[in-house]
Amino acid sequence: MAIKDYKALANDIVKNVGGEENVDGLRHCVTRLRFNLKDESKANTDTIKGLDGVVTVMKASGQYQVVIGNEVADVYDAIVDTTNLGGDEASGSSNNAPEDDDRKLADKAIDFISGVFQPFLMPLAATGMIKGIVAILGTFGLNATNSGLYLLLQVAGDGFFQYLPVMVALTTARKLKMNVFTALAIAVAFLHPALSTSMTNDVLYTLFEGTPFASDIYSTVFGLPVILPSNGYFSAIIPIIVAVWLGSRLEKWFKQRIPSTVNSFLTPFFTIIIAVPIALMVVGPVATWAASLIGVFFTWLQGVSPLVFGALLAASWQLLVIFGLHWGIIPISYLLLAETGLNPLGPLMQISTFGILGVLLAMLIKGNEKKLRDIAIPGAISTLFGVTEPVIYGIMIPLRRPFIYAIIANIFAGAYAGAMDTVAYRTGGLGIFSLMNMIDNEGNLGANFWNVAISYAIAVAIGFILQMVFPVNRLEEELPAEALATSDASGNESSASQAVVSDAEMAVSAKEEIIASPLVGDILPLSAVADEVFASGALGKGVAIQPSEGKVLAPANGTVSVLFPTGHAVGITTDTGVELLIHIGLDTVNLDGRGYTSLVEKGQKVSAGDLLVEFDIATINEAGYDTITPVIVTNTDNFTDVLTTTEPVVARNDYLLTIVK
């Protein structure tokens, strides 16, 4: 929708970012205003998002970004005209902006982890529900040995959780603007069967024998011990994020120093061959020793005060799981069960689930936010059966306060269970089905069973009450933009086969219009673009191209409606009203035109196939920028759908998009 009053919008935006005095720098690229704010807490983000003409608001790269779309230059000009901000359009910048914002490190970490999990939260919740169905089947005596249905549902539910590191690596790479396939290569190394197989070899020696850090060594590298967690890295989260972060730093360093002619394969080669060994040699020991230390601490605490032990373990269990540190406690619980037939840790591990369940139930009753309910409903079902990951990463971490309520609830419930000396007699069911583990070996529902049930009820009740009484932020205030997108523009498939678009095909029918490719290169979905605004589809549907040739051609007959002074982005409005944006590279506005040559002017009429822009891929890559190019239909809402090619590679004038009217 066209903006009716640029000055009014400009004034509203400046006012709601905290006024001129709160702006330390302002620039704009082809779609968004990029503010550097002195204090982001003074910005009224919800108000700005609700302004006519604003697509969304992003907080990234130390900037407060107001996404406008094709008319961003006009809004920027209005700000310059009515304030003392900006004024250097040629370079796209005003003041020197700080590289990083001043948010607390903990807030940055929480925001980052939340953003990593948002893209796959709903599949995570869905597979959690499947695990719940498997748990129900297990209560009827079914298992993978005697039931084919159980086996199929088990792998359907467990597969996602087993290979969660792969999903985490992919989304982490996008957040860090790293090649996703290089990140996946690093992640799958952690899951390779050879790592677990190596632990069946003869023990070479025991490191730190006789201490809590005792570690059996099965292999060495140049004399240095390779230390692996006893349960491997399946379902690991933090170790994978750390490994991919290391890979992203290495990739950026090598990309800037390796000649462009061999950059495409030597950069991932050196990144992987360095990142994998370092990550495994460093992350492994840290994870192993931290888990061991935690196990020793809780064992000691149990002997000192069962009440404090119960409160602390129940309260911290979900946090330990997030960091993969719970593996220091689980072996102790198995050992106690094997030696004494009793496991005092079992009830406390399960209590943590019910504090979260109580909070979720209150959210469903009290809240009316659609985005929250979309996660909370399936999340509550999976939590009832002991699977909490969807709500932990989708609600608890982003909102923070509900997580605190759940922890408080678990403190009281755990204290009760610890004081009552509750135990588990066996392992097996999770969540509500864990109550079967509390029935004694004679099948009696004794005091132990009822005390555990009471502790579960305490956790639910306190979590429910705290969430009902105290307010929390709306989920959409905390989630990154990619999580708020209602659909993925990359999910559309075209029924058209790959072919060169002829003049006849370029013509418009009553129902659809064919758009040709403006570039030569590899096709990627928008979701692969390491920029949330493009990846989420907030600017419209389309596709991304990784160019192999530095020429941009007109994809249809039309008029140049957008041409950024730096040449890194060009917009075409076709003769039939389709508005196309071709954004050559990510954050390439920072190059100030270096590597780009514009061959057209704004307002110029062009024909399909006309040369619009030339760019030097090597120069852009050597400066540390990715040339991946989103091709977006910015007025997507005017059409029924935008379909994309299914082919992996396009040449000049090949079919790229179908506009369904």
Please give the pLDDT value at position 413: 96
User: What are the backbone dihedrals phi and psi of residue 517, each rounded to the nearest 5 degrees, phi first?
Assistant: -75, 130
Q: Measured between alpha carbons, how far is 566 from 56 in angstroms, rounded to an integer?
A: 24
Residue 492 has pLDDT above 90, yes or no: no
The confidence band for 499, taking pLDDT boundaries of 50, 70 and 90, is very low
Give me the active site residues, please.
Answer: 29
What's residue 459's pLDDT? 96
Beta bridge partners of 33: 28, 66
Looking at residue 369, its pLDDT comes to: 62
Q: What pLDDT sits at residue 585?
A: 92
Judge contact between 399 and 364, C-beta under 8 A: no
The answer on pLDDT for 563 being more than 80 is yes
Higher-scoring residue by pLDDT: 291, 281: 281
Q: Residue 439 has what pLDDT?
A: 85
- For the stretch 628-639, pLDDT in tens is 999 999 888 888
DSSP structural state of residue 273: H
In the predicted structure, residue 194 carries a pLDDT above the cut 80: yes
Report the pLDDT value the prediction gives residue 506, as an integer from 0 to 100.
Answer: 42
Give the pLDDT confidence of 61-117 residue by residue, as tens digits: 567 888 887 677 788 888 988 888 865 443 334 443 344 444 456 556 666 766 677
List the chain domain ranges: 6-103, 105-162+305-484, 163-293, 492-660
* φ, ψ for residue 301, nearest 5 deg: -65, -35
Lowest mean pLDDT among 150-164, 174-188, 401-415, 465-479: 465-479
3-class DSSP state of 660 = strand
Residue 427, φ and ψ in degrees, nearest 5: -105, 165
Residue 55 pLDDT class (50, 70, 90 cuts): confident
In this predicted structure, the answer to whether residue 658 has a pLDDT above a threshold of 90 is no
Give CA–CA dist 237/323, Å, rounded. Answer: 7
Q: According to the model, what pLDDT value does residue 503 have?
A: 43
In tens, the pLDDT along 319-378 reads: 887 766 666 677 677 667 766 778 888 899 899 999 999 999 998 887 656 667 777 888
pLDDT of residue 4: 64
Q: Mean pLDDT of all residues in the chain?
A: 81
**pLDDT for the residue 92:** 39
Min mean pLDDT across 409-423, 426-440, 600-614 is at: 426-440
* Across 275-299, average pLDDT: 80
Over range 306-329, report the average pLDDT. 81
- 429-452: average pLDDT: 85
Whether residue 612 is predicted with pLDDT greater than 90 in this model: the reply is: yes
* CATH T-level assignment (fold) for domain 6-103: Gyrase A; domain 2 (3.30.1360)
Residue range 492-660 forms a domain whose CATH class is mainly beta
Residues 350 and 617: their CA atoms lie apart, in Å, by 55
Instruction: Please state the length of the chain.
Output: 661
To 5 degrees, how large is the angle CA 488–CA 489–CA 490? 90
C-alpha distance across the termini of the chain, in Å: 17
- For the cut 70, the answer to whether the pLDDT of residue 474 exceeds it is no
